[in-house]
Amino acid sequence: MQSNLSVLSTAYLPSIRYVKELFNSKVIHIEKHETYKKQTYRNRCVIFSANGALPLSIPVIKPQGNKTKVCDVVLDNSVKWRKEHWRAIESAYKSSAYFEYLKDYFVQYYMKEWKYLWDFNLSMLETIIAILEIKVELKETESYIKEYGNRFNDLRRLSDENKKELISDSQDNRYFQVFENKHGFIPNLSIIDLLCNCGMGARTILIKKGGYTPPH
């Protein structure tokens, strides 16, 4: 059942659990004014390579140091991260069933030099929404609010890392993964893993169960 309003933090090639929430809300507010947190999914994702789970991290610059808002975080393009990330994604998914169909949607992000992490993530999220034909309206928050109470379904924690509760329903959402025979099934990877392996069948998996309920 859809909730009316939810708030999520930005995320790079967001997790399956994150994208699941886009189906559960009519309007999603993306948190624009929070202080940037390092070592989270805001600038990193995890894909499934031939060697197992592979984190991909975007190098960033914080112009205001630890007080930098997430919308002001700059991509460090002095590092060849775009070439490295696309090479890793292509290597991981070139033999998957739907990579050839999907690659043109994503390769464009690794060919253009973006300045801000916020713009890069938001544009990529809009592409994911279009591919999956999700009927959700995206809005940017106008200011930082620490506690939303009952006005919003606060899902900003989904962009944090290493939260075991975020994969608690993994056994109910299994799907074929290219390297599963070598490493076993890995849950809650980047949405690109589900898309490349399942194509539009990803919609069925994403809609299958209700979303994440944050702890109180």
Residue 213 in domain: no
pLDDT for the residue 168: 47
Burial profile 37-56: b = 16 or more Cβ within 10 angstroms, e = fewer: beebbbbbbbbbbeeeebeb
> pTM for this one?
0.90
Distance of CA 3 to the CA centre of its chain: 20
> What is the number of other CB atoms lying within 10 angstroms of the CB of residue 11?
24
By residue count, the chain amounts to 216
Residue 32 in domain: yes
- Total domains in the chain come to 1
Please check whether residue 136 is in contact with residue 25, taking contact to mean a CB–CB distance below 8 angstroms.
yes
Residue 216 in domain: no
Q: Which residues contact 208 (CB under 8 A, 6 or more apart)?
A: 172, 173
Residue 37 in domain: yes
User: From CA 39, how far away is CA 161, in angstroms rounded?
Assistant: 7
Per-residue pLDDT of the chain (216 residues; tens, 9 = 90+): 455 789 999 999 999 999 999 998 899 999 999 999 999 999 999 999 999 999 999 999 999 999 999 999 999 999 999 999 999 999 999 999 999 999 999 999 999 999 999 999 999 999 999 999 999 999 999 999 998 888 789 999 999 865 444 444 445 578 999 999 999 999 999 999 999 999 999 999 999 755 544 443
> What is the number of other CB atoms lying within 10 angstroms of the CB of residue 152?
20
Residue 59 in domain: yes
User: From CA 132, how far away is CA 39, in angstroms rounded?
Assistant: 28
Residue 214 in domain: no
Domain that holds residue 162: 3-208
Residue 151 in domain: yes
Residue 215 in domain: no
